[in-house]
């Protein structure tokens, strides 16, 4: 009887130890560059929760260095947009103007919070753009795709 109890406890411990790494192995959202007809800089995007939840508020920290375009106070905007797999908007994009001017080549950082998250399908695109009439910097991720790493391309007009 002692051997049976010992074997049961040992088996339970082994199953727990084997399962633990998979619980911590949740894929982080990693943004990639956008494809565009014109040169667009890749920007760094960090989000508050790793994967946004439908109907909840989200925060974004966007930073980088634009190589060609200046950021102009009141003219340059941050745009955050959720799209379905076909490129259709899931909700109106979030748009906020920059409050500082920053010359090209200098680092920038803008943080926004309480951004509404629309009802999200199983797989969707999340795009973040810095620009005015044209994009200066961009990052995109396809959330909910299979684990195989694929190149993410969103074309910006």
DSSP state of 89: B
Q: Which two tokens stand for residue 124?
A: 């969707």
Per-residue pLDDT tens for 107-120?
999 999 999 999 99
Per-residue pLDDT tens for 43-65?
999 998 778 889 899 999 999 99
Higher pLDDT, 110 or 38: 110
DSSP letter string, 99-145: SS-B-TTSEEEEEEEEEEP----SSEEEEEEEESSSEEEEEEEEET-
Closest CA to 153 of 22, 69, 23, 40: 40
Per-residue pLDDT tens for 68-80?
999 999 999 999 9
**Domain spans of the chain?**
27-156
pTM assigned to the model: 0.75
Q: Which two tokens stand for residue 74?
A: 């009141």
- Reply yes or no on domain 27-156 having CATH 3.40.50.300: no
CA 119 to chain CA mean position, Å: 16
Q: What's the mean per-residue pLDDT of the chain?
A: 79
């Amino acid at each position: 009887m002692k051997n049976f109890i010992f074997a049961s406890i040992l088996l339970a411990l082994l199953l727990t130890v084997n399962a633990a790494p998979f619980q911590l192995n949740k894929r982080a959202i990693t943004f990639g560059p956008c494809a565009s007809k014109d040169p667009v800089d890749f920007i760094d995007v960090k989000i508050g929760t790793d994967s946004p939840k439908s109907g909840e508020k989200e925060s974004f920290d966007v930073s980088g260095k634009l190589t060609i375009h200046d950021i102009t106070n009141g003219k340059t905007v941050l745009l955050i947009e959720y799209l379905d797999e076909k490129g259709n908007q899931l909700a109106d994009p979030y748009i906020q103007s920059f409050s500082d001017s920053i010359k090209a080549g200098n680092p920038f950082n803008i943080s926004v919070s309480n951004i509404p998250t629309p009802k999200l399908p199983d797989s969707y695109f999340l795009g973040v753009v810095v620009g005015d009439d044209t994009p200066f910097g961009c990052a995109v991720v396809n959330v909910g795709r299979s684990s195989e790493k694929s190149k993410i391309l969103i074309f910006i007009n």
